[in-house]
Amino acid sequence: MDQTKIDVLRAQPLSAFTHLIDGKQVPASDGGTMDVISPIDGQVITTMAAGTAADMEAAIASARAAFEDGRWAGQPPAARKKVLLKWADLIEANALELAVLGVRDNGTEIGMAIKAEPGSAAATIRYYAEALDKIYGEIAPTPGDILGLVHKEPVGVVGAIIPWNFPMMIGAWKLGPALAMGNSVVLKPAETASLSLMRMAELALEAGLPPGVLNAVTGEGRVVGETLGLSMDVDVLVFTGSGGTGRRLMEYSARSNMKRVYLELGGKSPNIVFADAPNLDEAAKVAASGIFRNSGQVCVAGSRLLVEAAIHDEFVAKVAQAAEAMRVGDPLKVDTHVGAVNSEEQLKANLGFVEIAKTEGGEVVTGGDRILQDTGGYYMAPTIVTGVTRDATLAQKEVFGPVLGVTPFETEGEAIALANSTVYGLAGAAWTSNLGRAHRMVRGVRTGVMHINTYGGADGTVPLGGVGQSGNGADKSLHAIEKYVNLKTAWIKL
């Protein structure tokens, strides 16, 4: 990555962002705007449309019309594939510009953002583009002179509500399979990270996606997000974000048309280190990067470190050393390891969790504070708290910040019991040289993703999703397609 190019891009003034409805850029119907504040320095960098319920309804109506007239679903698969591949190419061609725009908006360090955001978004869209003409129905082994066919049909209009930590990547996890299967989509980016996703959506039109097939509306979740959730004209809602909002989306569904709702929610993922780990230095470095990159704003972050008591002090010292070696600061400097916390509100919440941890007997080994306040930005030192008991707030509640809680254990059974002691079940890891133990951990820890001697595998060929209150309906891989199709059975008398 070229620092000079990044510096040029970051200095570019931004014009106001609008909605994207029916292939056109449109302001909010009442002219309302929201300031976009950069977490890098707390400055307003542009404005975006503060969507109204009417704006969202217009977007849904446009998506519905586009679906009903078959302008996308009715195209031959090869034609849809061509458009999506072109879109992936355009995202790649504009990768640095998109990444810098996204970082100015959400604060993720550029080294991570360039790979995880445009890089992974383009790869995801390409993956589903390539898959779309290889997915078809079934002929059932029905008896006698009757033929049973199972069709896979697009569901219709998909509402996609996206969080602020990785807007392009997570956006693509929903948009890729939804559009590949012929659906129309109404996108609702997060208040504090809309810009890059809005730009990415515009590129879809440039690639040839017909107007109305992808509409995007910015604004407050409780205004435009609620309208999307309550719509009678949205068939499937897909979401990544907090448990509280996930619960609300299920309520919206129940109160309206009982649309299918797929939720990817938070986690309190256990990273379990046994004394027989193959390499404790490596485990410590990965434990630190697994919680502190992107300021801990990663749904699969290993936020609970469970350490075998015999190596507790030694291992915590190694993780603290790795944490202190991480450079926190301007996310648009290529040598920064940890960028800015997404918003002042999130930073305050993170610091609040540290205070609670202290009152519950936790000891802050490193970090714990806001730093670089003179920049005007929102930065927090990577924070490690030891002495976190099983039921402590830090062991039970997702922080979504750079805060690692440490809990010792004596036996494998105790490690599994601790690992499974939250309402969540998104990710986890175990570090051990014992093959049998490795498999027992994979079986025993209740999660959607389990790592052995590594953390944070990110390939698009495998599902990513949780169990329990971490959600349902994994993103990524061919399995994700199921969320965006209806099965229809046809009986044909021969």
Residues 6 or more apart in contact with residue 493 via CB below 8 angstroms: 145, 146, 147
Nearer to ligand ADP, 188 or 199 (CB): 188
Mapping DSSP to helix (H, G, I), strand (E, B) and coil, where does residue 102 land?
helix
Nearer to ligand ADP, 221 or 468 (CB): 221
What is the smallest separation between the CB atom of 491 and ligand ADP, expressed in angstroms?
A: 40
What is the smallest separation between the CB atom of 106 and ligand ADP, expressed in angstroms?
A: 11
- Residue among 166, 125, 154, 180 nearest 260 (CA): 154
For 284, list phi and psi in degrees, rounded to 5: -70, -40
What is the smallest separation between the CB atom of 365 and ligand ADP, expressed in angstroms?
A: 26
Nearer to ligand ADP, 188 or 304 (CB): 188
Distance between CA 168 and CA 171 in Å, rounded?
A: 5
CB atoms within 10 A of CB 200: 30
Nearer to ligand ADP, 190 or 277 (CB): 190
Nearer to ligand ADP, 265 or 286 (CB): 265
Distance between CA 61 and CA 228 in Å, rounded?
A: 11
What is the smallest separation between the CB atom of 60 and ligand ADP, expressed in angstroms?
A: 14
What is the smallest separation between the CB atom of 92 and ligand ADP, expressed in angstroms?
A: 25
Mapping DSSP to helix (H, G, I), strand (E, B) and coil, where does residue 81 land?
helix
Q: Residue 363: which region, alpha, beta or left (left: phi > 0; alpha: psi -120 to 50)?
A: beta
91, exposed or middle or buried, with CB in 10 Å at 0-12, 13-18, 19+? buried
72 strand-pairing partners: none
- Residue among 160, 263, 249 nearest 474 (CA): 263
* Per-residue DSSP letter, 373: G
What is the smallest separation between the CB atom of 255 and ligand ADP, expressed in angstroms?
A: 12
Task: Say how far residue 224 (Cα) sits from the centre of its chain.
Answer: 20
Interface with ligand ADP by CB under 6 A: which residues? 161-163, 188, 190-191, 221-222, 225-226, 229, 241-242, 245, 248
Q: Which two tokens stand for residue 167?
A: 């807007």
Distance between CA 143 and CA 141 in Å, rounded?
A: 7
Nearer to ligand ADP, 161 or 427 (CB): 161
Count of residues making up the chain: 494
Catalytic residue among 117, 264, 398, 412: 264
Q: Which two tokens stand for residue 284?
A: 């410590």
Nearer to ligand ADP, 243 or 468 (CB): 243
Mark whether 264 is an active-site residue. yes
- Residue among 231, 372, 347 nearest 296 (CA): 347
Q: Residue 144: which region, alpha, beta or left (left: phi > 0; alpha: psi -120 to 50)?
A: left
From residue 88, give the alpha-carbon distance in Å to each of 143, 240, 243, 316, 471.
Answer: 45, 22, 31, 42, 28
Mapping DSSP to helix (H, G, I), strand (E, B) and coil, where does residue 214 land?
strand
What type of residue is 207? A
Nearer to ligand ADP, 148 or 221 (CB): 221
What is the smallest separation between the CB atom of 191 and ligand ADP, expressed in angstroms?
A: 5
What is the smallest separation between the CB atom of 1 and ligand ADP, expressed in angstroms?
A: 28
Q: Which two tokens stand for residue 92?
A: 């790649």
What is the smallest separation between the CB atom of 247 and ligand ADP, expressed in angstroms?
A: 10
Nearer to ligand ADP, 251 or 391 (CB): 251
- Residue among 210, 168, 185 nearest 74 (CA): 210
* Per-residue DSSP letter, 41: T
The residue to which tokens 């033929």 are assigned: 147
What are the residue numbers of the active site? 264
